[in-house]
Structure formats: structure tokens, C-alpha cells
Amino acid sequence: MANLDSLRRSVALARGGVPMVRVSGVVSEIAPALFRVSGLSRFVNLGETVTLHCEAGPQVGEIIRIDDSGIVVKPFESNVSGGIGMQAFNTGVMLLFPHASWKGRVIRMPRSTCGMKPCGVRRNSLRPKPMIAA
């Protein structure tokens, strides 16, 4: 029963982060290590994430440049698996939900061997909070 409660909490937390309306753009250029998206530059900020829904699964990347003709995205994976003309969605700032037992270390393992890790209650942004002068 505890596993069902844990799953219910995890789904509720994840669902809270999905907006009802999403802004999207179109992939206009692709290089081996990055891609350009047109149509999102007015709606995003540096450091936010963009998601491509590829056949192999979603590919997430960080916005590293914004200009008048679009945005440049660096994917978290080693290469781009999407194609020109694909839709790219702004997914905002990457959030972590660390469990109290998490020590801040990340070990990259295949998803099949990881299992479900405990999820924390509090949302933490990867973007640092601005310093306030005293």
C-alpha cells in the first residue's frame, strides 16, 4: 500500500508541473551537438529547457543562446536525434525533487538497472536564486 501512496504522490507532483497550454517552435537547423529552434525566442530565457519529441523518446536540451532568428539549444545527450521541422516545446527551468537521503551525487546507470528512486516533497530549481544585497 505504501508503494501506491508513493506513486500517487509522484504523479501528483509531476502533474503539477505540466501547463495546460504550451508554446512551441520548429527546429530550423541541426548541427551534431546543437540545434536551432525558430518561434520560441520571445517566450524563453537562457538556461531554460526545450524538449523535442523524437521517435526514440523525448530529447531535452538547455537554451544557450537567444537572438532575433531563434534560439540555440544544447541537448543533454551527446548528439541530436531530431530532424528539421520537428516541434520543440519550452519546458521551462529544470526542477529536481531530491529525497532527504540524496547526498548530491549522481551515478549514470542504465535506466533498466536503476529502478524507481524515492522522490522528495520540495521542488528545487537548478537555476540559482539571485543574490540580494543587504
**CATH number of residue 68's parent domain:** 2.40.10.170
d(CA 27, CA 61): 13
Residue 74 in domain: yes
Residue 62 in domain: yes
d(CA 50, CA 69): 16
Residue 30 in domain: yes
Per-residue pLDDT of the chain (134 residues; tens, 9 = 90+): 678 888 888 777 766 666 667 788 999 999 888 999 999 999 999 989 999 988 888 889 999 999 988 999 999 888 787 789 999 999 888 777 777 777 766 665 555 545 555 666 666 665 555 556 65
Residue 57 in domain: yes
All cell numbers assigned to 54:
523524437
Domain that holds residue 29: 20-94
Residue 15 in domain: no
Q: How many distinct structural domains can be found in the chain?
A: 1
Global pTM?
Answer: 0.63
Indicate the burial class of 90 (C-beta count within 10 angstroms; 0-12, 13-18, 19 or more): buried
